[in-house]
Amino acid sequence: MATLPGQLSPTPRLLLGPGPSDAHPRVLSVMSTPLLGHLDPQFLEIMTETQTMLREVFRTKNQLTFPVSATGMAGMETCLVNLIEPGDPVTVCCIGYFGTRMIDVAGRTGCNLTVKHKPWGDVFTLDELRDILKETRPKVLALVHAETSTGALQDISEVGKLCHEYDALLVTDCVTSLGCTPVELDAWEVDAAFSCSQKGLSCPPGMSPISFSPRAVDKLKSRKTKVQSWYLDLTSIQSYWGGDRAYHHTAPITMIYALREGLRLVLEEGLEARWARHVRNHKALKAGLEALGLEYIAAEAHRLPQLNAVKIPAGIDDVAGRKKLLTEFGIEIGGGLGDFKGKAWRIGIMGYNSRPICVLSVLAAMEHVLRAFGAKVTPGSGVAAAEAIYAA
């Protein structure tokens, strides 16, 4: 080629979209640590430490808990393709974009798929889920815990128990919940959960922590067919992560260094303190956004603190507004997905970025952008409203 690209030197951003969020500086720092081999005794110890901490963060004793060597969507596929065999009755309960992803992924397994929808932004009640289980009698029920496209929190605290009454396994998408809001795999009887590295865990994207309950492992062991994906086949991968440490694929060493550091940060802070921090910063952000005239999509009763999805006010252009935030203030927020394309803004205050300065910065910058597009906003009103919460 004529000339090579120059040294990497991006203009810094503050990542307040749906993810990636900024990685914690300590995480970035460990990523320049020289490599170990994936079978080095030192690395095997790092794997064990990572798994132990991951179990704490997932609130589980599940033996089969480890990070899949790919991003969150690969975690979704791992959970579904390992627990589903062709012909199995499977039900996906969909409340947004990532629910439609589950439909697409499950649909490729040759299962007998039933899909139940609620309007985007809404969630399923326990009674509705009971009726669905009665009607569809699935072997696997899949739903999204934290729907990143709408900002809705699907209560799953009693869904696992319910599923087990109907002999179904519960698979949940915890991509946006883990490390931000309570996830209690054992207490909630969740059978398979997957998450990501780049939101509540404050690492770069690239890994998908998953956990399988003993019930899920039993299902895995009793499969009559091979898992359709070789790369995501837990019957083989568990030989590496499960104790024998037998070679399956070359683990992404540096990403595991990062995850280990991200998990250390979570547990140093403590899960309860971390969840409370996310709620506190959410309340301040919410007060500020509402003072700026912005309206949330999900009802307050089932709203994610870490992912604030609001309606774009009439007269404001989605792309131009976000571009102004990015170029003038270096702040990234997210646009809408699917049905909400052009209609929603998504502000993520997740992990390391769930901090007052992030809340105040985005409110101040947002106010500037709204006014630039002609919105009637009292100067300083967003920041003042947030400040009132912090002062309380």
User: By the 8 A CB rule, do 163 and 170 touch?
Assistant: yes
Give the shortest CB-309-to-a copy of itself separation in angstroms.
16
Give the shortest CB-363-to-a copy of itself separation in angstroms.
20
Q: Among 20, 138, 179, 305, which residue interacts with a copy of itself (rule: CB under 8 A)?
A: 20
Helix (H, G, I), strand (E, B) or coil at 87: coil
Please, which of residues 72-111 interact with a copy of itself by CB under 8 A? 72-74, 76-77, 101, 104-105, 107-108
Beta bridge partners of residue 344, listed in sequence order: 311
Which helix or strand (DSSP H or E) is residue 391 part of? helix 381-391
Count the residues of the shown chain that bind a copy of itself, applying the rule CB under 8 A. 78
Per DSSP bridges, beta strands 140-144 and 169-173 are: parallel
Q: Is 144 in the site for a copy of itself (CB under 8 A)?
A: no
Q: Among 88, 114, 184, 231, which residue interacts with a copy of itself (rule: CB under 8 A)?
A: 231
User: By the 8 A CB rule, do 129 and 160 touch?
Assistant: no
Q: What is the dihedral of CA 5, 6, 12, 18, to 10 degrees?
A: 20
Sign for the CA dihedral angle at 217, 209, 243, 263 comes to negative
Q: Is 165 in the site for a copy of itself (CB under 8 A)?
A: no
Give the shortest CB-45-to-a copy of itself separation in angstroms.
9
Q: Is 264 in the site for a copy of itself (CB under 8 A)?
A: yes
Q: Is 269 in the site for a copy of itself (CB under 8 A)?
A: no
User: By the 8 A CB rule, do 149 and 98 touch?
Assistant: yes
Please, which of residues 335-354 interact with a copy of itself by CB under 8 A? 337
Q: Among 99, 121, 151, 204, which residue interacts with a copy of itself (rule: CB under 8 A)?
A: 204
Q: Among 171, 255, 307, 344, which residue interacts with a copy of itself (rule: CB under 8 A)?
A: 255
Q: Is 120 in the site for a copy of itself (CB under 8 A)?
A: no
In degrees and rounded to multiples of 5, residue 388 shows phi and psi of -60, -35
User: By the 8 A CB rule, do 297 and 341 touch?
Assistant: no
Residue identified by tokens 């975690």 is 75
Please, which of residues 276-315 interact with a copy of itself by CB under 8 A? none
Q: Among 316, 326, 364, 375, which residue interacts with a copy of itself (rule: CB under 8 A)?
A: 326
Give the shortest CB-167-to-a copy of itself separation in angstroms.
26
C-alpha triplet 363, 344, 284: angle, nearest 5°: 30
Q: Is 258 in the site for a copy of itself (CB under 8 A)?
A: yes
Please, which of residues 31-60 interact with a copy of itself by CB under 8 A? 31-38, 40-43, 46, 49, 52-53, 56
Residue 346 annotated as binding? yes
Burial (Cβ within 10 Å: 0-12, 13-18, ≥19) of residue 34: exposed
User: By the 8 A CB rule, do 351 and 178 touch?
Assistant: no
Q: Is 224 in the site for a copy of itself (CB under 8 A)?
A: no
Please, which of residues 166-195 interact with a copy of itself by CB under 8 A? none
